[in-house]
A and B are shown apart, each in its own frame.
Chain A
Amino acid sequence: MRAWVLAGVVAAATVLAGCGGEAPATDAAAAPDAGATTLANGMTVKQQIEARQASLKDLGASFKTINDTLKTNAPDVEAIKVAAAKMSEHGQQLGTWFPEGTGPEAGVKTEALANIWTDRATFDAAAEKVKAETAKLAEIASTGDVEAIKGQIPATGGSCKGCHDTFRLKKN
C-alpha cells in the first residue's frame, strides 16, 4: 500500500513538474470594437498591431531563408540579397510600429509587453539597433561575400533578441 502511494506521489510530482505555467497572450477583449481607435498614421489600433505582426513574421521568415541557405554547401547569394534587403526595409520602419495605445491595454491579441511604453527609451534604443544591424546585413549581402554575411548573422540575430528578451511575452 505504502509503495503504491509512494509511486503515485513520484508520478504525480513528475507530471506536475512537467506542466508549465503559461501566461496567455492578451485575448481579444469582449468589446467587439477592441482596437477600433484610429491612430495618427491613419490605421486603427487593430490594423497597426496586425500589420506589425505580419512584418515581424516576415523578418523571422527572411532570417530563416538566409540561415537555411548559409547551411548548405553553396549558399544562394541572390536569395540572401533579396531576404536581407527585405529585413533592412522592415528594420528601418520597426520603431514606428509601436505607437501609443497599441499595447496589451488595447484588448487586441499581442505579444508586445506594456514595458515598451513605460520603458520607451530602452525600447527605442533596441529598435535603433535592429535598424542598424539589418541595414549592415543588407549592405554586406550586396557584396556577395558569403563569409562576411555569415559574420554579420550573430549581430543581426542578437538585435532581435535584444528586444524580444525584454519586451516580448515569454511563451513558457
Chain B
Amino acid sequence: MPPEEVSGEPAQPQKVWDGATRLFHWSLAGLFLFSWWTAEEHLMNWHRISGFTILGLLVFRIYWGFAGPNTARFAHFIKGPVTTLRYAAGLFGPQHKETAGHNPVGALSVIAMLLALVAQVTLGLFAMDTDGIESGPLARFISYDQAELAGELHETMFDVLLVLVGLHIAAIAFYLIVKRANLIGPMITGRRRFSQAVDAFVGAPLWRLALGIALAGLVVWLVIR
C-alpha cells in the first residue's frame, strides 16, 4: 500500500543517498570536466592532480560498493539479466516499481562508467606523449612504445566515456520528462519522494567511511610517490 494511503498524508521524502556517495558523484562529474579541460589546455600538472584525485574517488567508490550503506552497495542494485530485462520491459507497465537507489538498468550504466573510468585512470598512469616530455607516474615501468600506446588509448577511452556520459544524461532526462521522476534532486539532497513503498535506507558506520577514505589515500600515495 502506498505510504500516503496508509497515513492519509502525501509521502514524505525519504533518504536514498548518503553524503559520501553524493559527494563522490558530483566530485567525479566536476573532475571529469576538469581533467578534459586541463588536457585541452595542456596544463599537465593540473591534469595529473585531477587524475590522481579521480583515482582516489574510484578506489573509495568501489570499496563503498561493498562496505557502504545499502543503496551504495553493488549487491543492492546489480541484478541478474532476467530481472534487468523484466524491469526494462516493465518501465511503462502497471508492474513498474520505483527503486530506492539505482534501478537494474541504471546499474548497467554504473558498471559501465566505473569500468571505463578505472580503465581511463589506469591508462593515464602509464601514458606518455610522443616526445617523452609528459607522462604518468607509472610510465617508467614500461617501454617507450608501450607508454606511447597507453597515451593513445587514454585519448580514445575519453571518447568512450563521452558516449557513456551522454547516455547517462539522456537517461536522467528520460526519467525526468517521461517518467516525471526527478533523479537529480535526490543525488544532491539525498532524499526522494516515492509514491510506493520502497526499501528503507540503511546507513554505514562512520569507521567504515574513515577506512574507505584511508584506503583511497593509501592507493593514491603509493602511486604518486
Contacts and interface: CB of A to CB of B under 8 A. Distances in A.
Interface residues of A, number: 32
Contacts of A20: 159
Contacts of B147: 64
Interface string B159-192: 1101101110111011001100000000000000
B144 A64 contact: yes
Contact of A3 (B139, B167, B174): B174
A60 B133 CA distance: 8
A164 to B, nearest CB: 7
Interface string A7-48: 110110111011110000000000000000000000000000
Interface in A37-84: 57, 59-64, 67-69, 71-72
Contacts of A85: none
A67 B132 contact: yes
A79 B178 CA distance: 64
Given A157-B131, A161-B133, A17 B162 contact: yes
B49 to A, nearest CB: 16
A121 interface: no
Main secondary structure of the interface of B (DSSP, over half): helix
Contacts of A59: 131-132
A118 interface: no
A138 to B, nearest CB: 16
A61 B173 contact: no
Contact of A14 (B130, B133, B163): B163
B177 A6 contact: yes
A160 interface: yes
Contacts of B132: 59-64, 67
A69 B131 contact: no
A10 B131 contact: no
17 contacts: A2-B177, A4-B178, A6-B173, A10-B169, A11-B166, A14-B162, A14-B169, A14-B170, A17-B162, A20-B159, A60-B131, A63-B132, A64-B128, A64-B135, A67-B132, A68-B139, A164-B131
B139 A19 contact: no
B171 A7 contact: yes
Contact of A18 (B139, B140, B159, B169): B159
Contact of B133 (A4, A69, A160): A160
Contacts of A15: 162-163, 166
A10 B135 contact: no
A71 B131 contact: no
Interface in A114-172: 157, 160-161, 164, 172
Given A6-B174, A64-B128, 5 more contacts: A7-B173, A10-B173, A11-B166, A11-B170, A64-B139
Contacts of B159: 18-20
